Structure 1
Amino acid sequence: MDHSWISPVFWIWFWIWIWTGFSSAEEEVLMNTKLETSDLRWTIYPSSDPEWEEMSGLDEEGNSVRTFQICPMDTSVSHWLRTRFIPLRGATQVYVEIRFTVMECSAMPSSFRSCKETFNLLYYQSDEDTASSTHPAWMENPYSKVDTVAADFLLRRGGEKKSNVKTVRVGPLSKKGFYLAFQAQGACMALLSVRVFFKKCPSVTRSFSSFPETLPHSLVQQAEGVCVPNSAPTDQAPPTMFCGEDGQWVGPPSSSCVCKPGFEPLDSDRCRACGSGQYKVSIGGSLCRVCPDNSNTHSPGSSVCVCRPGFHRAASDLPDSPCTRPPSAPRSIISQINDTVVTLEWSEPLDRGGRSDLSYSVECVRCRGSSCVPCTDSVTYRPGQVGVVGRRVIIRGLLPHTTYTFSVIAQNGVSAVSHTSPASSSVNITTSRDVAVPVSGIRRTKASESSVSISWTIPSQTQHSILDYQLRYSLMDQDDGWQYVSSKSSSVVLSDLSRASQYQVQVRARTSAGYGHFSPAASISTLPDDEEPPSRLLLTGVLVAIGLLILIAVGIVAVFCFRRSSRRRDPDPDKSSQFLMGQGMKVYIDPFTYEDPNELVREFAKEIDVSFVKIEEVIGAGEFGEVCRGRLRVPGKKENYVAIKTLKAGYTDKQRRDFLSEASIMGQFQHPNIIHLEGVITASCPVMILTEYMENGALDSFLRLNDGQFTPIQLVGMLRGIASGMKYLSEMSYVHRDLAARNILVNSNLVCKVSDFGLSRFLTENSSDPTYTSSLGGKIPIRWTAPEAIAFRKFTSASDVWSYGIVMWEVMSFGERPYWDMSNQDVINAIEQDYRLPPPPECPASLHQLMLDCWQKERSSRPRFCAIVSALDRLIRNPASLKITGRISDGTSHPLLDQRPPPSLSHCSSVSDWLRIIKMERYEDNFLQAGFTSIQLVSHISTEDLLRIGVTLAGHQKKILSSVQMLRVLPY
């Protein structure tokens, strides 16, 4: 065959060679013709008159390479070229990189009547190398077609000489190997090189988990790893991670490993043993610490420090507590003897042993002569004999004229584990004989609200005269709050007492031999008590009651007057309440006003520990990385599913800021129809955004999947939820800019929530009609965007209303594409010529009219979201109106959105007009059938007439009768 006419052009581009590839750590090459220097021995069909021609040449580096070219004269015949058998080595999907050139058909001679600029790529699977010149048959079946390959750059005479590189995916493959086939029918082309490879995830260590080299067999392949040395998993299951089909590891491990006790993390992939004098007591990511006081370690990798000799830890001490020792002995014991009662007091030890849990014990020994025995059980100690926290003990029940030895022992938490004897101090005491008889006859002689006068009987004393008395008193049942008073006489006045309170009082006498015992407690009370007349209290109570009644009456009158004046100023209570709510509405803060993205995240998003999150599967891909489904398990809270957006590796600071800005936007919203932000993960890699998981996904695809499965009232309920969410956003001065069904998510309960705040911007506040101007332009979703936003980049809540009308059309058409297959420019031209989308099949007429109201050309004429919500509520309450379908061609405004003020009653010309003005038109037939056919007759109607007509609701009766009273004073 003579191809001399193309040789000047063909051989020029043949030497143009650009070679790129993937990292060897992520790819395994199965075939690469660029590395072949001898004949490739590929099969050509038809073999009788082969058009494919194998040739040798040099690449851009001067290396010898083998290529195939074809430029058939007979373009009606399919020319095949098949590779040798390619073993798969366990791969289930491969990538084919083809470097080729194609001649432009216009540069070909006129004899090429069926010239083409494309060729087909096919493959055939087999477990063995059994192909021949006749098997398999040279047709698309049994071969499987991969793609029709087209060139991005075509060769032409005198033009730039560039080659094309196409990479296509082949799979899934289920046998041991396959053949590639190239089918050309009319294309003048050359195959410069063919490289077949598959991708695999390299061995990697992350979060102290080591994962082997993994070959993906599906979209994502789960790989099981092991913890690095000296680490352990945080739960029972081994760590797992997903290997993507692109050879990249997806997300963090499902359960991370952490360093064991005695080891600290190093470079996030190794655990290093704690050095000498350091320890780490628990498993986790904390660092080694210096040993506590009075302790040390004996070897590296210690989880606890051992106490030095003479120091100890109590059983209740934590392993990281410092070591301590028993305290020294108490100091300066002072004793006070009163008859057979001994009071001991002492000072703290000089050395508490380094602990705060200091307590004391008292030991008592009774001595007679040279023999000493422990005290009997009749001896009592107050507050106790052991475990005393204070430094004072009162000992009773001693024998008179007896010598005792009291030892006070200081103890702390390590005294029990110490092998040394506890330190103590001792004192010897000899009790005296009885000194005084008890006092009796305590009585109240005079009382007021804050003081009492008390007297008692002077006891008879034969041996010693009484020197004075000691009185102690406290509130009833408060034995720890005693106060003491001394008196030379048998009476005393107690002052600064609490009003109407009961006190307990005790008195004892003192002689030259010391104090006697306290008398039994007597009960004394201050005024007023039950014995005194409560006249003053009664009078005070009556006056207070009268005052409260006056205040209540004044309050009722004030509220009545305020409501009446409010109704006169603002007869529409709904508008008034909306205005008051607007005054306290939180306003959205633009995240791009923050210079520091970290401050932005701290302000509006909650940081979540990565260990609380477990990724289960990849469910999609976003602008910045994969979107996964996972579970969030925060300690103390119920586990729930979440959607996880990840930021892919190698991001720039701007990409990270843009990624986190969406989280800071969502974090400002709290509404049942706005997607809820669970939190962010910025302290580890990759950065993640966690939102609530919406089981049914995007609204448009959900509706297409369930075409015709929902009733009109269910669809209106979905639209009402979207409108409620947009009403909330507009009240926060927030413009969404990309409201579409694809950006509405649906949960398992069919609740629709607004999401995707990537194109949203803040409304300027210094204008009655706030707008956003996009200075950089950018992509705009033409089919959903208002005309003024397309032409002038003016975005307002009114432009969101236009987009909401398109969403209504999408919902009622079950996910149909707006404007069908029209181009974006055709859509813009049609809207400028006042074309609007027709009603979808079976769409209620009232809903289509609401769409048309949203598509008003003048943005000031479009309804607000609050009006749309009210309109949809009325439709839901009156489902019969949804049965009317078809176009509305009279051009009138939708009655649900007719917010014009009603005409004055003076303009009423008929009963129908009057009922419409007061919004009681439902009773029109009742009035006419009852004979009330004129305004004059209506002006004399009564309550009995209304009951006879059929107006039974009290609220409706009151509204009609109020209007009738106005009719009576109007001239007719």
Structure 2
Amino acid sequence: MPFLLSSLLVNGTLFYTYSVCSIETTEQDNWLRTTFIQRRPGTSRVSVELSFVVRDCNTFGGASVGCKETFNLFISEADADVGTNFRKGQFRKVATIAPDEVTQGRVLKVNTETKTVGPLSKKGFYLGFQDVGACVALLSVRVYYKTCPSTVQSLAVFPETVADALREVEGACVENAVSQATPRIYCTAEGKWVVPMVQCQCLAGYEATGDSSCKPGYFKPSVSNNFCQVCPDNTKPSASGASECLCEEGFFRAPSDPPTSACSAPPSAPRDLTSMTLPGEGKLQLFWSPPLVTGGRSDLMYSVVCKLCDEASCIPCGEKIRFEPGPTDLQDPTVVVSDLDSHLNYTFTVEAQSGVSQFSAERPTATITTALDYTDPPKVTEIHLDDRSPTSLFLSWTPTRRPPAHINHRYELMYRRKGDVTTYKVLILDKSFVQIDGLIPATTYTFRVHALGPEGNPGSYSADHEFNTFPLGTSTVFGVAVILLVVVAGLLLRKRRLNARRRGGPEDPYFSTDQHKPLKTYIDPHTYEDPNIAIHKFVTEIDPSVIGKQKVIGVGEFGEVFRGVMKIPGRGEVPVAIKTLKPGYSEKQRQDFLSEATIMGQFSHPNIIHLEGVITKFKHAMIVTEYMENGALDTYLKGRDGEIPPYQLVGMLRGIAAGMKYLSDMNYVHRDLAARNVLVNSNLECKVSDFGLSRVLEDDAEGTYTTRGGKIPIRWTAPEAIAYRKFTSASDVWSFGIVMWEVMAFGERPYWDMSNHEVMKAINENFRLPAPMDCPSAIYQLMLQCWLHERLKRPRFLDIVNFLDKLLKSPESLKTIADFDPRVSIRLPSTSGGDGTMFRSVPEWLESIKMSQYKESFARAGITTMEQVLALRHEDIRNIGVRLPGHMKRIAYSILGLKDETSSLSVFAV
């Protein structure tokens, strides 16, 4: 039986209803279907609101055999209107509709129920209502969907959006506003806008007001949501929408001034420029008052120019003239000028400058012309012996001030025999040199000299100088001695050049050409015939009573190494490291032991281990150095992966490079630079150490250096040092590149488990170590430069220090990470089994990379085959339970090597 269309009065309102009331029999199946309802594109769900009345079954008594109090809601989707073609099989049930209130008497109880229908995908749908035995009247059916209305939020426009499940909606900034990313907001299923993201900002010249452009006389210089502001002082009135206010005529902004600053004028000329002669040789001081007009700026400075002028022209005073503190960028209105000559007219021009002076064609200056007229003659401080014979002395001296061209100073020389205080001889000389004849052989004479002024006024005497004549008959011997000295000097010079070549001396073009090199050059202690002379020349002897041993911290080449204290006056007890010589030593072992101290004693640099001194006059010789709390660099770094940021690692490398630059400037080649030979103190300052090994290259199968300390692996050594025994600062640079790799790999062994023979073969075939994980790209590129095969193309330590300084001044340059490519990697310890095949089990693989503690974690995660291991990603490793950064990197490195089977089964891939 279908629903019947009838009228019904509800609360005084007449409704046309569809009703049915078949309750006498069971198995009722009455249907009512809507017309075709078209779905709006983008709408996947609709709400169906039903108003209906249901009669209480109890009011029918025994006649209500099949009475029910519910009916069902169905839906059928279609792409076109099927008209009256109705088939129940096309409908799917949405819900069973039950009333909140049933009608028992004449007062009708109207129920309202809303159901959400979806998801919908076709062009339209039909709603169906099934009655299975209720007495029900359907008053109304309302089908609708919700939308989030178009809106403007945070200066972004968002379109009207159908409210479905929570949906992210993209918008666009309003006119004259921009954002770095697309504005987004969420539309809820209830038609509410929530959680706006990405705020738009007004363009320069606009603000978030009714009339968005800045008013005339106002401006806004940048993209922001700030309000427009009034144009600053000394600017022209701006037009509407201005992003800046231009300066008035004669006013400017400096390049560093922000657009919000006021415009300013250049300063006027300095005032009241005067000069005053100062005590001393050729000095005067200039004074002036600040300009009346400063232009409203606080960056006022002065510059001074000196010229020598005559009636025709002016020429610069030259570089001989010195200014204190300098000729430019003077903040105070005064300067001291020195090294001036007397009786010359100097013209000084002082200019006041500020940040906007460059924009003005005028240069307001103050000028003064002055001269120094010395009445006092110059001083003489030193007398030099140029030559001598049994009866003659040849002397010369230099005055402290050069006399002017038109004045010729004279000199008064006074001399006497030593011990004779009554008889003096005086010579008046026009030149600053003299040959004195008629002297007694083998006799000492005392000399002093002073200059005489233009009027004959004397200057102060020099100190007394003593010179002696040769004995009779030694003039020929003297000539022979001179020849012998020349020959000996030539031989010594040649020997020194040979030593320099061995250690990369001045003839090595790789050494730094920096003019600011240390004043002294390294001297090889082995050039001394008596080693004890070298020890006492370069090393301080320490009293054994001020040294106290505390604890053994290691074993050195010659004996134990202790931590101890040293009592230093004014500093108290200072921690030191004490190297000892084991009992039963030979004299050669003692000399070899102390040779390291004679080398260290010549160095003084904050990144070179500091030698406190030695104890040689005691039964057991000792070397005392500063104490480095954190020990060797490679040991310190192991296990600290992830604890030390890249910026700090680069700072540590910079310290090592600075120490090596110092050694290079002194013409010293280290030959064994490695992280194990770099010590770290409590402030993480790195200092180069280990200067005591003498190295002889052996042609053994492993390609190692034989030293008194044993075998040193070749993996730190440059190829030319291995092949040709060519040790230079360039070979130290190669070693420094390996140290950089050790530091960025947190103490990992270079070339892993490759044999020395494999390392040599790989390097000769142009293989280089891959970048450590998370290594900044700039640092890895510097490593590759250090490993260039041609040594003269490698950077100098001066270049390395400057490059690292630039990185430290720009930390953002360390954010770009170097790529790790397993295809060019050498064999990793985790790549394969001992027989060159892939691992047979996950536990076997974990044990090979020393990560056995994670066997149960992999098993719990269901990772039981090597195929599953190869599929692991970084986040999978973390989810398994590997949390330590160093462990994560070791496992990830191993998986990278496993993925490249070719590289896994060979020594390396080219």
Above 0.5 in TM-score?
no
Q: What's the TM-score, normalizing by structure 2?
A: 0.42
Q: What's the TM-score, normalizing by structure 1?
A: 0.40
